Chain A
Amino acid sequence: MRVTTIRIHSLRNHNDTETDFSPEMNIILGHNGAGKTTILEAISIASLSKSFLPTPDSLLINSAQSKYSVHAKAQTDLQVPYAVTVSFSAGGRKHISSSIGDSLSPKDIIGEMPVVVLSPDFKAITFGAPDDRRRFIDALLSQCSKRYVEEAIALKRIIKQRNDLLTSAKKTGFLDTAMLDLWTDSFIASAAEITARRFVFIEEFMPYFTESYSRVSNGKEMVSLQYQAKTLPKVTINSSTKKNELLHLFNDIAKKCRNEEIRRGTTLFGPQKDDLYIGIHNGEARDYASQGQHKSLLIALKYAEFQYLYAQKQEKPILLYDDIFSELDATRTRNVLQTVLETGAQVFITATEAHQGMKGLTESIDKKTLIVENGCIKND
């Protein structure tokens, strides 16, 4: 997949920016706050319907305006044109249209224009909390399968409904047990579906990750991944555990948790409590990895994400590298970047200045350098 042009209206400090891109390497240079990253955010919005940064949409709108919009034109690996427009008005809903149709929801466009983002913001995947890692899994699986997006949205909604029953039971002292049973059954069905899909995913993803890590670290260390269903008995499950068995296990847990759930007024089991174990030779990365190892792990995870997504979609993802040279490690990134460029994928890199790390990489490929200043592209 390649973005050919993008048009940005009232997104952060970009009032009206339009530019075309190199099909291979795009280097976006500028000072801090100039609006480099916003160009990557715009590509993320066109692909995932939202920025890869946690900023809420209402705060992405240029403060003088009431609406942002992003329009991107792209081309698949087989040269099929694709176009998408995403806009958001303050206090309103997101409007999405694409080559598929109008009035779309995010799930209709997620995965159509696959993208992999490496940003210092994602450092939390290797040393943050479990939900940082679950978000990584959910985001990647969402690009692979629309069914997964639907299941994940349903799970969230069911938890909300079930928690509402539990909190009001706690508040009023009255519990409609038939209703709770009903929502528990529905929750268990959804929990089993999500858990099974995540287990299978991690098993498929692991070889990509180990291969990718050995490339980043020059093959010196062993790493591993393991999906941890925190609320299920550890010994009994793995990726080949059938959905029926998971339903059974969740049913047992539900019975055991029930009184405590009513007492606390909240759901106490399920995949929303799970974690991804990232192991290095001497233990869990979160506790034992050095600064350098954390950087390598993140770069490797993201390169594995690129390879996995490519294999699943049969479409080269677009790579967005945000500020990797100052925050991450140039030499570690270099090998990976070289390999990515060799696959012919389209890459976007932001940096405050033309960096040493980019030298030597870029001679044989098509490249474009954009200089961004105050939300405008200076050299277009």
Chain B
Amino acid sequence: MHYTSESIETVVELFTSLPSIGRKTAQRLTFYLLRQPRETVDKFSSALQDLKNNVRFCSHCFNFTEQDPCVICTSQKRDKSTICVVEDPNDVLAIEKTGEYKGLYHVLHGALNPLDGIGPNDLKIKELIARLNTDVQEIILALNPNVEGEVTTQYLAKITSQLDIKTTRIARGIPIGSDLELADEATLSRALEGRIQL
């Protein structure tokens, strides 16, 4: 089914090309915008322009930023001796929300994945190694708990062990605030395996 207006059709198609948006949702969004006052729509289009014009990678940590280096990398309050390695910018956001981590980050922009044709050169790994000067005392690997994240963790651990830098990984365990008896048994079984001495 196509619309008589080519402009409508173009916007619907653009929305459809976004992740997890189907044609029905795309149509709903398009008609919603069409019914809004001009200012609202202008706000959208200029915000999208700004997004592309102003946002770039931080040349240190490769998180998205408007100023380079980013606010985290330049902050006097951050501990420059620790780097937490994550797969993508959303992970930085998640860890920042805890308010507990005071070190720096490094965003790889993915994980090793032969099926998607992603090898070490497609990730910001060289850039990570370049950052490992004498100031850096610990690398924390916080990659996703799946097959690709695990293999990438092993790959990075091999490199950092050759460089003689203390390397740790985040624990896979029971989320705080949830009852032990409610934890899914797979999580519980991994948490038992990863137990630590007191």
Contacts and interface: CB of A to CB of B under 8 A. Distances in A.
A164 B117 CA distance: 9
B154 A185 contact: yes
B154 A186 contact: yes
Interface string A165-200: 100100000001001001101100000000000000
B138 interface: no
Contact of B114 (A145, A149, A150, A161): A161
A160 B113 CA distance: 10
A127 B79 CA distance: 64
Contacts of B189: 145, 147
A258 B147 CA distance: 21
A340 interface: no
Interface in B162-194: 184-186, 189-190
Interface residues of B, number: 18
Contacts of B119: 176, 179
A302 to B, nearest CB: 25
A157 B111 CA distance: 14
A182 B112 contact: yes
A96 B48 CA distance: 35
A160 to B, nearest CB: 6
Nearest to B147: A157
Interface string A123-152: 000000000000000000000011101100
B9 to A, nearest CB: 21
A161 B116 CA distance: 9
B186 A161 contact: no
B154 A161 contact: no
Contacts of A247: none
A183 B151 contact: yes
A186 B151 contact: yes
14 contacts: A107-B186, A108-B184, A145-B185, A146-B185, A147-B185, A147-B190, A154-B147, A164-B114, A176-B119, A179-B112, A182-B151, A182-B154, A186-B150, A186-B154
Q: Which 5 A-B residue pairings sit nearest by Cβ, starting from the closest? A: A146-B186, A164-B114, A147-B186, A147-B189, A157-B147
